[in-house]
Chains A and B, each alone.
Chain A
């Protein structure tokens, strides 16, 4: 089961041969540095911290100091102006910045500590422990943070709330998001074999939690903590604004905004400076968090199968194709035979200089079954995807693909619709994900039937007939089921039946049995054979298993590292393989001895 083949879902350039000698931290750092806004956010944040620590020592005015300059607009002496009592706003803002950063940091520490501990414990032990923690989360969510904090703030405010008490209260109310996140990650980690392996070695609960789980959720915790810091800034300043946070004569950014409420139009500096500073802090925190998230979990480049290639992409492709054509020997594509259905000439799929497919020629005649065999990374799936115009946008695809005489490269989404489904049907590897989980089987059939001009009863009859032909028992009731209610083999047969609706000219089957058991594989292979016979379609059958193609293919092409190394009809391929790699594949493939073969 070579499931680690390059699928377009996970677009990463093929890994270079030979392991790179870099550590994870260096990877993360390099990726973070590429995220410009993230770097900017972190820089601003660090600068603000530095200013909060250092600047008050050098600034001549104290935040409570009353100067003779009343209600001054910004001037060289008071860069942010002064308030009605003559206090220097910059000094006050610096004090507010200190308070906000200190409180938000403490809140983050408290909330993350509670959240991580409860999240890890809940996720690891599951069952009742998990249920209890999750109820605790529900419970905490019913307590509006500001309300509780405000009430508690008011009761202890006799001598003003200490920042540590405020931080504790806010932290104790804000841990839920962290714990939900950590629990979710741990729940999925817990099922991983390395945790089972540790248990088999005799590792105790604590060891598994601290040696294996916590280091593996650390990424998520760092990102969550960063974003939590921003939320904490907003919560603290909101509370201070209402008068339940930091109390005068001390000051905070929220308090400064509250005092300036009525001065927006008359003394705007008093209102805008503290407000904009809060925005600046939170904005830089959020961008830093976003940058960290992307650095830890590199997002694959966006996949959108609904788009048409942009003009720039088309131009690049045309240029590359033209230059490649010049280097190809003239006449290599040759005159087409009249019964040629698909003609691929000089196809190259290139990921940032690393070709997944290199200068591939392949043709399929009408009604012919061509098998494309190769190990992971051989480029076989990428070849199939270029045939239906779904090569990931990160790849540059050059060369020519002709289908029934029409050039298929650079078609718009609407033009592709004339081919996809109607003339070229495709069956994907994993039947558990290729059907829409939210729609019944019947609804998914109806969507395609409508394109075929069938609706209502006639559509249902046709669906039933198709399901019948792929040996589905009681097809009418199956139509009312959702995909998750069917077995893997059944789902793959649904995909095959859907492919048969329009009587296509070509069926592409991309590892259609890899995710299935061997007896189910035999049934699905038989179903495919039936589908081909009924529709008379040609087929491109893609697999890593050379033995599997013996029964279905007319012609076999063996691929390695993006190149077809051998192409022959199925009998000569198995009787007298020419290329060393084909011979190796045939020799190495585990098979039953001669006494194991059944008639």
Chain B
């Protein structure tokens, strides 16, 4: 608690989430899955922290652990100094007003049986606070959707429009933190740019912080002030965006960077051909999980 600076909206310290393998998997010799191994970082007000990682890197578990969708094995998630794991019942529910989420797939993140008005006002209904129509119109306006969208169903909208609805839902209770889980990776390039622009504008208008998790370094760099790179459940590199992109220290970050295709035929053709992983190698691998076998 003492180390947590007062400005930090979110402070994650030594967070680890391990999964017990199924009984069947254990009998075949599978050990505990160290999905997340002691990750620590802080997120300041109005800051965007990008977290990059490939499938299996633990970025999704990190996000789910922060959101309370998984129970962490060790470590703390503090929100403005309050340890989220200590909250129970109604307190825990009330705390949900400060945090919201936008998921990757706009086709499955909205309940198909709800109208747009139902979707956007659901957080308010759960928290038992009023949500007047004027507020709904205002929210839709902020995500640049017409007020007439309210009575429609999600399937009547395009992917980009649906992602705007999801953002409006995330904004509904004026949260201090929005967790963005690959918010643009299911969208076409032209739509991606619109959504990223919208997110940037919203941050300028309100004092909201973003935790932006994605697999695409270029997209993350576009929006983030700082970037963390995850591999094997650990954050192998964390720094300002220009630091991580410009002078990466970790070999994995370097590999990730060189794998990003460059929209320039000459530069791209000059790259050495990679048929196998550059990292980890036999003599350089990630450190073992510092949290150890807890389960």
Contact = CB atoms under 8 A, between A and B. Distances in A.
Nearest to A586: B263
A518 B55 CA distance: 10
Given A2-B187, A202-B92, A571-B265, A551 B271 contact: yes
Interface in A259-307: none
A529 B273 contact: yes
Given A574-B263, A597-B267, A518 B217 contact: yes
A273 to B, nearest CB: 44
B69 interface: yes
Contacts of B246: 593, 595-596
B126 A201 contact: yes
Interface stretch (B11-19, B75-83, B218-226, B281-289): B218-226
Interface stretch (A16-24, A109-117, A399-407): A16-24
Contact of B100 (A193, A201, A376, A593): A201
A546 B265 CA distance: 11
A585 interface: yes
Contacts of A527: 275
A546 B107 CA distance: 24
A530 B55 CA distance: 25
Interface string B144-186: 0000000011011111010000100100000000000000011
A340 to B, nearest CB: 23
A4 interface: yes
B68 interface: yes
Interface in A566-589: 570-571, 574, 584-586, 588-589
Interface string A191-231: 01110111111110001000110011000000000000000
B194 to A, nearest CB: 9
Contacts of B228: none
A197 B101 contact: yes
A20 B152 CA distance: 9
Contact of A590 (B152, B219, B270): B219
A551 B263 contact: no
Nearest to B182: A1
Contacts of A585: 189-190
A591 B218 contact: yes
A590 B221 CA distance: 9
Given A197-B101, A551-B268, A589 B274 contact: no
A597 B122 contact: no
A193 B156 contact: no
A193 B222 CA distance: 25
Given A197-B101, A202-B127, A526-B274, A24 B265 contact: no
B276 interface: yes
Interface in B80-138: 92-94, 96, 99-101, 103-105, 107-113, 122-123, 126-127
A145 B127 CA distance: 47
Contacts of A192: 108-109
Contacts of B192: 588, 590
Given A202-B127, A596-B257, A547 B262 contact: yes
B28 interface: no
A3 interface: yes
A522 to B, nearest CB: 4
Interface in A1-50: 1-4, 19-24
A550 interface: yes
A590 B67 contact: no
A599 interface: yes
Nearest to A1: B185
B258 interface: yes
B256 interface: yes
A590 B222 CA distance: 7
Contacts of A4: 107, 159, 186
A465 interface: no
B6 to A, nearest CB: 25
B136 to A, nearest CB: 16
B193 A592 contact: no
Given A517-B215, A590-B196, A597-B262, A202 B107 contact: no
B269 A592 contact: no
Assign chain A's interface to a size class. 35 or more
A430 to B, nearest CB: 14
A193 B259 CA distance: 29
Interface in B200-233: 215-219, 221-222
Given A550-B262, A571-B265, A200 B101 contact: yes
Contacts of A198: 111, 122, 126
Interface in B240-277: 242, 245-246, 254-271, 273-277
B237 interface: no
Contacts of B260: 518, 547, 591-592, 596
B126 A574 contact: no
Given A194-B109, A201-B122, A551-B271, A519 B216 contact: no
B275 A471 contact: yes
Scoring B155, B257, B266, B268 by chain A CB atoms within 10 A of each residue's CB, the highest score goes to B268
Contact of A591 (B108, B161, B262): B262
A548 B261 contact: yes
B54 A518 contact: yes
B155 to A, nearest CB: 8
Most buried by A among B187, B257, B263: B263
A287 to B, nearest CB: 27
B188 interface: yes
A596 B245 contact: yes
Most buried by B among A3, A23, A529, A547: A547
Given A4-B107, A585-B190, A593 B113 contact: no
A517 B218 contact: no
Interface in A519-550: 519-523, 525-527, 529-530, 544-548, 550
Nearest to A570: B265
B24 to A, nearest CB: 13
Given A19-B152, A24-B153, A591-B218, A598 B258 contact: yes
Contacts of B274: 519, 522-523, 526
Contacts of B123: 201-202
A21 B99 CA distance: 33
A207 B111 CA distance: 13
B69 A199 contact: yes
A548 B219 CA distance: 15
Given A550-B261, A571-B265, A517 B245 contact: no
A375 interface: yes
B188 A595 contact: no
A20 B157 CA distance: 9
Contacts of B185: 1
A583 to B, nearest CB: 12
A378 to B, nearest CB: 9
B113 A545 contact: no
B215 A518 contact: yes
A520 B268 CA distance: 16
15 contacts: A194-B110, A215-B113, A216-B113, A519-B256, A550-B264, A550-B265, A551-B271, A588-B192, A591-B263, A593-B242, A595-B242, A595-B245, A596-B221, A596-B246, A598-B271
Interface of A: 1-4, 19-24, 192-194, 196-203, 207, 211-212, 215-216, 375-376, 470-471, 517-523, 525-527, 529-530, 544-548, 550-551, 570-571, 574, 584-586, 588-593, 595-599
Given A196-B67, A592-B257, 15 more contacts: A2-B186, A194-B109, A194-B110, A196-B103, A198-B111, A201-B126, A376-B188, A525-B261, A550-B261, A593-B242, A595-B242, A595-B246, A596-B221, A597-B267, A598-B254
- Which 5 A/B pairs are nearest by Cβ-Cβ distance? A551-B268, A202-B96, A19-B156, A517-B54, A193-B103
